[in-house]
Structures are given as C-alpha cells and as structure tokens.
C-alpha cells in the first residue's frame, strides 16, 4: 500500500503540532493541523465552536476537515486528540496515511498545556485522568506509538522520520 501522509494522533499536549512541523520540514512535506484548519474555515476558535454549537457539531466539522486534508498528498497532519474516535474518519485516514500516536504521561501533559483556555475538554487533573482512561484503549489500538517523555521535539521528529522510512 502506498501511503502518502503521516497522521500524528494522541492526547492533547503530546506535541503533535510542534513535532509535526519538524517532521514536515525534514521530509520536505507540507504540514497541516486540523484544529487550525477548522478555525480558519469556520472563522471561530475551537473553544467558541464548542461553547456555541457543542461537541457533536465540532466533531462533524472535524471529520469533514480530516477527510478533506488527507486527500492532499505529502502532508504531515496533526489531528485533534479526539479526531480518530470516529470509526469512519479513522478508517479513511488509516488507508491514506501512516498513523502515529504520540504519548506522554499526565504530569507532563498538565505541565505542557497548563491553563490553556483554547482546549475546552482540558479540565482539572481528575477530568484529564477520566478522559485519558476513557480513551486509553483507543490510543493503544493505533498502529504506531512514539513516547515523547524525556525527548526533545527534534528527537521525537527523528524517530518519526525513521518510522516513516521503515513503513513506506
Ligand atoms: C480535543 C483535542 C483538541 C481539539 C479539541 C478536542 C480532544 O486538539 O481538537 O479541543 O477531544 O482531545 P489537540 O489534541 O490538538 O489539543
């Protein structure tokens, strides 16, 4: 199978966008971020979409954006942490790209994300633990994992480039 894209998935704060840009640079590919694309197409921030229209509406837009971006060739795509929970979106992205899940532990995630108000599902520690537990099986089921703990974004990017070379 010829896969043309790299899809970076994983929980909020695992570094998908930071690392994705570096991977794209190294491979001479384009970088896309589904949250940023949603915001520029919709004209509202993710937080406002959640607040005004709710999560279900956000997921609909997110799925449309994922399916659209993945058709463009040679993209490193950072998808929102919940984007691949939708089975159809996941199956299409899986057939068009190499899905890699970035991981980090909860303390590191809290440290990285802090009080960022742009992430409506990022609550207090108990809420994050709950969401991580709810999604643990989902993330574990993704085909490749790269642990970001104790690694610089450059090191993580290098590992992803190696994975890509070994899987295409
Ligand atoms: C979400 C993650 C966010 C964003 C939205 C919902 C999630 O993206 O899509 O707030 O459900 O995990 P990041 O993973 O890029 O923070």
| Residue whose C-alpha is closest to residue 3's, from 93, 67, 83, 80 | 93
Mean pLDDT of the chain: 96
145-156 pLDDT tens trace: 999 999 999 999
Looking from the CA of residue 55, the nearest atom of ligand 1 is 6
* 36 Cβ contact list (under 8 Å, min separation 6): 17
Phi, psi of 120 (to 5 degrees): -65, -25
- Ligand 1 contacts (CB < 6 A) are 12, 16, 35, 46, 80-82, 119-121
Please give the pLDDT value at position 2.
Answer: 61
Is residue 115 very low, low, confident or very high in pLDDT (cuts 50, 70, 90)? confident
Query: Which runs of E-coded beta strand occur in the chain?
Result: 5-10, 30-33, 75-78, 97-103, 144-147
Is residue 116 very low, low, confident or very high in pLDDT (cuts 50, 70, 90)? confident
d(CA 164, CA 22): 14
Interval 6-19 mean pLDDT: 97
Q: How far is ligand 1, taken at its centre, from the CA of residue 12, in Å? A: 6
* Lookup: tokens for 85: 């929970």
d(CA 26, CA 152): 15
Interval 33-48 mean pLDDT: 97
Q: How far is ligand 1, taken at its centre, from the CA of residue 120, in Å? A: 8
Q: How far is ligand 1, taken at its centre, from the CA of residue 162, in Å? A: 26
Q: Is the pLDDT of residue 3 over 80?
A: no
Which of 11, 12, 120 is the best mutation target for the ligand 1 pocket, counting ligand atoms within 8 Å of the beta carbon and taking the most?
A: 12
Interval 130-144 mean pLDDT: 98
């Amino acid at each position: 199978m010829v896969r043309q894209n790299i899809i970076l998935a994983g929980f909020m704060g695992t570094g998908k966008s930071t690392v994705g840009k570096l991977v794209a640079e190294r491979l001479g590919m384009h970088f896309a971020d589904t949250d940023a694309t949603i915001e520029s197409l919709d004209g509202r921030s993710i937080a406002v979409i959640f607040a005004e229209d709710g999560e279900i509406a956000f997921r609909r837009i997110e799925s449309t954006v994922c399916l659209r971006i993945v058709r463009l060739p040679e993209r490193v795509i950072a998808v929102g942490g919940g984007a691949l929970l939708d089975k159809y979106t996941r199956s299409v992205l899986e057939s068009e790209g190499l899905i890699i899940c970035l991981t980090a532990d909860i303390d590191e995630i809290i440290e990285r994300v802090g009080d960022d108000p742009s992430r409506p599902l990022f609550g207090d520690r108990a809420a994050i633990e709950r969401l991580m537990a709810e999604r643990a099986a989902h993330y574990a089921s993704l085909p490749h994992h790269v642990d970001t703990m104790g690694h610089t974004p450059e090191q993580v990017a290098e590992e992803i480039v190696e994975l890509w070379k070994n899987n295409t």
